[in-house]
């Protein structure tokens, strides 16, 4: 019988540090700081107590561009959404299946082969549907502008959104003719309702 050692050697796994993109995080913080500093410099310039330097001019330019971007995204006076949430899109590629180029049907099928690399989740293969790819309930079916779409076929259906124009935006159905589309778009402007496809099938002709 051999002698046992006084101290047992413990095998400890080396912990790897999490990968952090310092550069991208810094860029986001810098962007936020520029917009805040720019608004402060604007106020000082208006009062007349400051002559801006080169770095301060950059902050001014950034804050001006941000204001223009916000105005254009709003549509120049269209109603804003009542509750705006950051919409997070799921990273799942929908409609793909393993070796999809060999099949006619575009529907996804669960791979069941004994040696299938997608089912065994090898690196670099297609991702399978998972509960983690689901969209948040608060932002489900909400467009990036904060509105939910409501399908409209005529002017009468458009008037349903009279009291809900800050929650829903109208979308004209693809079967509606160009003549009815003009009536719907005109009525939507009167009721201050946003139409997602207002320019579809409508041409503006200049009167000679």
Please, are residues 195 and 185 in contact by the beta-carbon 8 Å criterion? Answer: yes
Q: Phi/psi at 195 (nearest 5 deg)?
A: -115, 125
What is the per-residue pLDDT for 130? 86
Is 145 a residue whose pLDDT tops 70? Answer: yes
Give me the half-sphere count of Cα atoms (radius 13 Å) on the Cβ side of residue 155: 13
Ranges of each domain in the chain: 22-73, 76-89+136-202, 91-134
* Higher per-residue confidence, 108 vs 11: 108
Average pLDDT over residues 53-58: 64
Give me the half-sphere count of Cα atoms (radius 13 Å) on the Cβ side of residue 95: 4
Is 122 a residue whose pLDDT tops 90? Answer: yes
Strand partners, 149: 169
Q: Which residues contact 80 (CB under 8 A, 6 or more apart)?
A: 74, 146, 166
Range with the lowest mean pLDDT among 97-111, 140-154, 191-205? 97-111
- Would the CA dihedral through 143, 147, 150, 151 be positive or negative? negative
DSSP 8-state class, residue 170: E
Where in the chain does DSSP place strands (E)? 148-152, 168-172
Encode pLDDT of 18-45 as tens digits. 555 544 444 444 444 555 555 555 555 5
* Higher per-residue confidence, 193 vs 93: 193
Encode pLDDT of 60-107 as tens digits. 666 666 655 555 555 555 667 766 666 665 555 555 667 767 766 667
DSSP output for 128-164:
PP-GGGPPPTTTTTB-TTSPEEEEESSHHHHGGGGS-
| Mean residue pLDDT across the chain | 74
* Higher per-residue confidence, 34 vs 179: 179
Burial class (CB in 10 A: 0-12, 13-18, 19+), 58: middle
Alpha helices by DSSP H, listed for 48-76, are 54-73
Range with the lowest mean pLDDT among 65-79, 105-119, 120-134? 65-79
How many other CB atoms are found less than 10 A from the CB of residue 142?
A: 19
């Amino acid at each position: 019988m051999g002698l046992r050692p006084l101290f047992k050697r413990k095998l400890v796994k080396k912990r790897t540090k999490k990968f952090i993109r310092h550069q991208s995080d810094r860029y986001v913080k810098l962007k936020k700081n520029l917009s805040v500093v720019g608004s402060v410099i604007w106020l000082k310039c208006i009062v007349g107590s400051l002559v801006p330097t080169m770095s301060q001019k950059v902050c001014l330019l950034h804050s001006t561009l941000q204001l223009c971007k916000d105005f254009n995204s709003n549509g120049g006076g269209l109603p804003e959404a009542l509750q705006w949430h950051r919409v997070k899109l799921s990273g799942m590629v929908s409609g793909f299946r393993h070796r999809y180029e060999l099949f006619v049907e575009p529907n996804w099928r669960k791979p069941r082969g004994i040696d299938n690399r997608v089912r065994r989740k090898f690196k670099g293969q297609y991702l399978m549907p998972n509960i983690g790819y689901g969209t948040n309930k608060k932002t489900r079916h909400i467009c990036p502008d904060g509105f939910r779409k409501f399908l409209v076929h005529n002017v009468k259906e458009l008037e349903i959104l009279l009291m809900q124009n800050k929650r829903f935006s109208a979308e004209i159905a693809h079967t509606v003719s160009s003549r009815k589309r003009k009536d719907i778009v005109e009525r939507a402007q009167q009721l201050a309702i946003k139409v997602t496809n207002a320019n579809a099938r409508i041409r503006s002709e200049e009167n000679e």
